[in-house]
Amino acid sequence: MIIKSIALKNYRNYKYLKLDFDPKTNILYGNNAQGKTNIIEAIYLSSTSKSHRSNNDKELICFEEEEAHIRVIIEKEEKESKIDIHLKKNKKKGVAINGLPINKVSQLLGTFKVIIFSPEDLKLIKDGPKQRRHFLDLELCQLDPLYYYNLQNYSKVLKQRNNLLKKINYKNSDLFDTLKVWDDQLVQYGKYLIYKRTEFIKELNTIVNRIHSGLTGNLENLNLFYDLNVKADAFLKKLEDNYEKDIRTKTTNSGPHRDDLLFDINNKDVRKYGSQGQQRTAALSLKIAEIEIVSQISKDKPVLLLDDVLSELDNNRQKYLLEYIKSIQTIITCTGIEDFMNSHLEINKSYKVLDGKVF
Ligand SMILES: Nc1ncnc2c1ncn2[C@@H]1O[C@H](COP(=O)(O)OP(=O)(O)OP(=O)(O)O)[C@@H](O)[C@H]1O
């Protein structure tokens, strides 16, 4: 799969932009705050319907404008498709594929697969569990529309259950029976998340392990574990056992919303004992493994977006990554093209980004 072009209208600092991409390596370079990440963000949004750095669509619309528009043309097995995203200040965004409006995000997910890699990803191991769950969810949503459906519903039910717990805590004990209704739904959607995460992490681990060995010259053995909060079959019972605690703390204390991912290097927990370098290398292995697994499962190569990440990697890791991505369409942002002088990377197209214009 490749992205052939993008057109932006009133998106962030772009009044109007039309850009063609090469099927291989594309570089967007320029000083800070010129609009490089804005292009990456618009591509990501066309794939997932969400920005990777903002939860508020209004922020994406150019200052003083009411609406913004993104159009990307993608090519898959020699067939072109068009994705349109229409952002409005006071209304829900509109998404259309080949001119046909869609009303469910799940219809978009999987149409255009991208993987984004930014400096924040290098902190994935060090960060809190929320970021690691987010990583899992993002990948699974792109791979499986049903996962997205179950995740959305799980989050909704969890919110409602937590609201109910607050009410019961404020002496509304007659609402207690309603908890059971939410429990059944939470378990129904939660079980799906647990099964899919288990499968995905198992596959990911085999690949991550091989990649990390390659990256470290066979010195390190990296393993990934699913640190699940509760087993699928025990979920309902756990919710019931926790009634007193949940009401007292006014929150749901068990479920996949409390899951985590653990990383071991040579049988030692990387979060606790790993150096900063080891943590970053493990994160890089994870990201490269993600490219492989998405390619494998979807039987197609995703588009890779490398946002400002190369300067964060030392020479060896940079070389490994660049070697790996040779056969994948990649869009790289950086401050200077000279960053690549020593990397032997073949650049197929490069654009200079300056104040919301591209040359
Ligand atoms: N809604 C908006 N309307 C107009 N301009 C915006 C809007 N949101 C952000 N900007 C502008 O976009 C620019 C930032 O763009 P971007 O984040 O793409 O920078 P960048 O080139 O990737 O920089 P860096 O190298 O620092 O990451 C800033 O000048 C900011 O003022």
Residue 52 sits in the same domain as residue 72: yes
- Interhelix angle 276-298/176-215, rounded to 10 degrees, is 100
**DSSP-assigned letters across all residues of 310-331:** GGGS-HHHHHHHHHHGGGS-EE
The alpha carbon of 49 and the centre of ligand 1 are apart by a number of angstroms equal to 19
64 Cβ closer than 6 Å to some ligand 1 atom:
no
Asked if residue 119 is part of any domain, the answer here is: no
CATH of the domain at 180: 1.20.1050.90
- 41: CATH: 3.40.50.300
Angle between helices 145-169 and 176-215 (to 10 degrees): 130
Q: Ligand 1 centroid to 42 CA: how many Å?
A: 12
Q: What is the pTM of this model?
A: 0.90
Quote ipTM for the complex.
Answer: 0.98
The residue whose C-alpha atom lies closest to atom 13 belonging to ligand 1 is 33
Could you identify the atom of ligand 1 that is nearest to the CA of residue 61? 1
Ligand 1 contact via 62 beta carbon (within 6 Å): yes
Residues 278 and 349 in one domain: no
Q: How many domains does the chain have?
A: 2
- Digit-by-digit pLDDT tens for the chain (359 residues) are 999 999 999 999 999 999 999 999 999 999 999 999 999 999 999 999 999 999 899 999 999 999 999 999 999 999 999 999 999 998 999 999 999 999 888 889 889 999 999 988 888 998 999 999 999 998 899 889 899 999 999 999 999 999 999 999 887 777 888 899 999 999 999 999 999 999 999 999 999 999 999 989 899 999 999 999 999 999 999 999 999 999 999 999 999 999 999 999 999 999 999 998 899 899 999 999 999 988 888 889 999 999 988 888 888 888 888 888 888 999 999 998 876 766 777 889 999 999 999 99
Last residue of a domain, one of 299, 325, 344: 299
User: Of 247, 238, 55, 81, whose CA–CA distance to 161 is shortest?
Assistant: 247
State the distance from the centre of ligand 1 to the C-alpha of 41, rounded, in angstroms: 11
Torsion of CA 167, 169, 175, 178, to 10 degrees: 90
C-alpha dist (Å) from residue 151 to 5, 111, 134, 181, 187: 31, 19, 11, 18, 12
Atom 15 in ligand 1: which residue has the minimum CA distance?
A: 35
Residue nearest to atom 18 of ligand 1 (CA): 35
Kindly state if the Cβ of 308 falls inside 6 Å of ligand 1.
yes
Burial (0-12, 13-18, 19+ Cβ within 10 Å), 74: buried
User: Starting from the edge strand earliest in sequence, which strands make up the sheet with 14-20, in order?
Assistant: 14-20, 2-11, 67-76, 79-88, 91-97, 100-102
| Cα-to-centroid distance, 294 and ligand 1 (Å) | 30
Ligand 1 neighbour 307 (Cβ under 6 A):
no
Query: From the CB of 37, is ligand 1 less than 6 Å away?
Result: yes
Structural domain containing residue 194: 127-299
- Binding-site annotation, residues: 30-37
| Same-domain status, 152 and 284 | yes
CA of 308 to the centre of ligand 1 (A): 14
**One domain for residues 79 and 214:** no
Q: Is the CB of 56 under 6 A from ligand 1?
A: no
| 149 and 295 fall within a common domain | yes
The number of the ligand 1 atom at minimal distance from the alpha carbon of 65 is 3
